[in-house]
Amino acid sequence: MTQVDTSLSESIAKLIEQASSGLVTQQLALDERSNLLEKGFSSLSFLQLIDSIETTYGVYIDLEEDTTFLGRVSGIVRFLKEQNVE
Amino acid sequence: MILYERISKGLADHPDSLIGNLSEKISYGRLCDLVDDKSRALTMALDLQRGAPARVGIVRRNAPAYVSDFLAVLRVGGVPFLIDPALGAHEIVTLDTCCGFDGILHDGSAQLPPGRCVVDCAGTPLWLPADQASSRLPLAPDTEVCRLTSGSTRSPACIEFSGSAVSAAAQAWCSASELNSADRVLCFAGLYNGLAFNTSLIPGLLAGADLLFPAGLPSPSNIARHLVTLEPTVLVAFPAAYDHLAASQLDWMAQSRLRLALSSAARLSLQTSVTLAQRSIRVADYYGIAETGPLTFNSDPTPGGGQGYPLPGVSLRTEGVKDGIGTLLAKSRSAGTRYLNYPGELEGRFSSDGYYRTTDRGALLPSGELQLAGRLGNSFNLGGRKFSSEEVENLLTSHPAVAAGTAAVVSPDGGRPFLGAVVVRKYEVDPVELRRHYLARAASFKVPERIIFVDVLPTNGAGKVQGSKIEQLLLSYRDRD
């Protein structure tokens, strides 16, 4: 993992913790063995996370397409890098 | 079949009206062609018993194909069962066992049980059961549609509706909301849900409105994109979507053509309705129940106001009134006949003069407007999703490591409500493993966000779990041992 990936991962983990009202801690978010639903993330948390990612990184997440990448930090990092976010 | 005849007339009268989403739009005329193709394919694929209507589940996300699936089932004289695609595999197996589906039309998003095979039904996969049920509970003779609810029973209950009940709900809605062929309805609620079914799908088809059904989550940017691109006149969404819209900084409201924004299933917060009103969106927060259909509407809503006035043909009253608030009873022409899989339970909730005893409390103001005040019993309402505490508790103990468990929806100060569980373990297991097990069996909204472990559940002298202590525990802890 590059330094950019690490920095993005940590920033996203922070957004996840905020979106879940602290339920999914940054440390738990970064654990790739389980997805966010299994960690206790709800659909309402996802709504907040999507809004936070779009606002923070100036990207648009097309929710009419496949959104399974939102289930893990690594998937979100991959999506952001595809959008040229560094 | 009353319903198909009436909808067919709506389609024939408005051949150029549209059904679609951002990527696809078809005219009502084209929809009729698709329904013809699908009904032929259904007839060939299903082993129809003479005289018994085919029972066809529809488990899919919103799409134009949802509408053609639904109409094709009606067209062949079948009964569509509208099923939440978020349900878990175990829940769908249980429904199939109770209801005896002849087939399930789906889009691959749901976890279906193993079947005999899946065949193509003019573009929609049709799941066929491994075995035809040898005996199954009979449908009422006039049942034309089945929808599910799970707020009142131990597992999703299948409500049977006659064609005249579904039509009456739609006609009352069209009359009160003045829905017409010039309208363009953007509906973010799932079409299996009463909010979408009774305010958008059936009234829209009867009125000849353009109908837009996105499949994605209603994030503020997703709603904004649809509003700007598709220019709807009516927006339909759950309260959580409006909460997020109100909290967002997106500046798109001025471009909106909306004449009506609809919410239901849970009361809209005052802060949300005030904020959106300041952006020229006044949300009509109406009252409806799965069993009775829509009950109230207010075309001129004010922030912090009530849930509107009774729709045509609806009568409301209260009983056990204290300080002006009582249990709500409702009488409508759009009520369900019975629960197919819980015989007698729905009938038992009607008074001798035909009023359905709800689990909601409220006041009928001197103006005639309804003001909701809360819920009775052990049913949960989380972001508009209704389900029973018993369902969650059965889910908790479905894991072999769980000896006992109880659940509650709690609201932290200044935070959003969440579903939590307090669990007694037989052996070591962590919350992630428990949730993985639960997610494989049930809809994700029934899986607790917060799980904490205790040695024994707190009970009172009579052995009853103490709800206040459960709430304290859930508000105090994160997932932990």
Residue ranges per domain, chain B?
Answer: 1-377, 380-476
Can you tell me the ipTM of this complex?
Answer: 0.90
Please give the full DSSP string across A32-84, using - where no structure is assigned.
Answer: TTS-HHHHT--HHHHHHHHHHHHHHH-----TTS--GGGGSHHHHHHHHHHTT
Give dist(CA B356, CA B376) in Å, integer: 14
What is the rounded average pLDDT of the residues A68-73?
95
What is the rounded average pLDDT of the residues B13-41?
96
Q: Which of B221, B383, B415 sits opposite A60 (nearest CB)?
A: B221
How many CB atoms lie under 10 A from the CB of residue B149? 21
Q: Range with the lowest mean pLDDT among B18-27, B33-42, B249-258?
A: B249-258
CB B290 within 8 A of CB B318: no
What is the rounded average pLDDT of the residues B438-460?
92
Closest chain B CA to residue A60? B221
Is the pLDDT at B230 greater than 90? The verdict is yes
> Which fold does the domain B380-476 belong to in CATH?
GMP Synthetase; Chain A, domain 3 (3.30.300)
Q: pLDDT over 70 for what percent of chain B?
A: 96
What tokens does B212 get?
């837009």
Q: Which of residues 193-252 of B touch A (CB under 8 A)?
A: 214-222, 225, 240-241, 244, 247-249
Question: How close B444 comes to chain A (CA, Å)?
Answer: 7
What is the rounded average pLDDT of the residues A20-45?
92
> Which residues in chain B touch residue A63, judged by CB atoms under 8 angstroms apart?
214, 216-217, 219, 222
Nearest to B209 by CA among B27, B23, B70: B27
Mean pLDDT of chain B: 91
Is the pLDDT at B378 greater than 60? The verdict is yes
> Which residues in chain B touch residue A37, judged by CB atoms under 8 angstroms apart?
435, 439, 444, 447
Please give the single-letter amino acid code of residue A26.
Q
pLDDT digits (tens, 9 = 90+) for B184-212: 999 999 999 999 999 999 999 999 999 99
Looking at domain B1-377, its CATH superfamily turns out to be ANL, N-terminal domain (3.40.50.12780)
| Pairs from B267-273 (Cβ < 8 Å, separation ≥ 24) | B267/B239, B267/B307, B267/B372, B268/B239, B268/B242, B269/B239, B269/B243, B270/B303, B270/B304, B271/B246, B272/B239, B272/B242, B272/B243, B272/B245, B272/B246, B273/B242, B273/B301, B273/B303, B273/B304
CB B359 within 8 A of CB B152: yes
Residue B336 has what pLDDT?
A: 97
Nearest to B82 by CA among B171, B190, B165: B190
- The answer to whether B23 contacts A64, with C-beta atoms less than 8 Å apart, is yes
B435 in A contact zone (CB under 8 Å): yes
- The answer to whether A64 contacts B445, with C-beta atoms less than 8 Å apart, is no
pLDDT digits (tens, 9 = 90+) for B46-73: 876 556 899 999 999 999 999 999 999 9
> Which residues in chain A touch residue B221, judged by CB atoms under 8 angstroms apart?
50-51, 54, 60-61
Residue B48 has what pLDDT?
A: 65
- The answer to whether B219 contacts A54, with C-beta atoms less than 8 Å apart, is yes
Task: Report the range out of B140-154, B187-201, B413-427 with the highest average pLDDT.
Answer: B187-201
* B110: helix, strand or coil: coil
H-helix or E-strand spanning residue B212: strand B210-212
> Which residues in chain B touch residue A26, judged by CB atoms under 8 angstroms apart?
none
pTM for the complete prediction? 0.90
Residue B375 has what pLDDT?
A: 75
Quickly state the pLDDT bin for B156 (edges 50, 70, 90): confident
Residue B481 has what pLDDT?
A: 40
What is the rounded average pLDDT of the residues A23-52?
93
Mark out chain A residues that contact chain B at CB-CB < 8 A: 20-23, 25, 33-34, 37-48, 50-51, 54-55, 60-65, 67
Quickly state the pLDDT bin for B304 (edges 50, 70, 90): confident
How many CB atoms lie under 10 A from the CB of residue A18? 15
Question: How close B468 comes to chain A (CA, Å)?
Answer: 21
Task: Report the range out of B181-195, B240-254, B464-478 with the highest average pLDDT.
Answer: B181-195
Q: For chain A, which residues make up each domain, given as ranges?
A: 3-82
Is the pLDDT at B30 greater than 50? The verdict is yes
Class of the domain covering A3-82:
mainly alpha
What tokens does B176 get?
């009160």
Beta-strand pair B418-425/B450-454: parallel
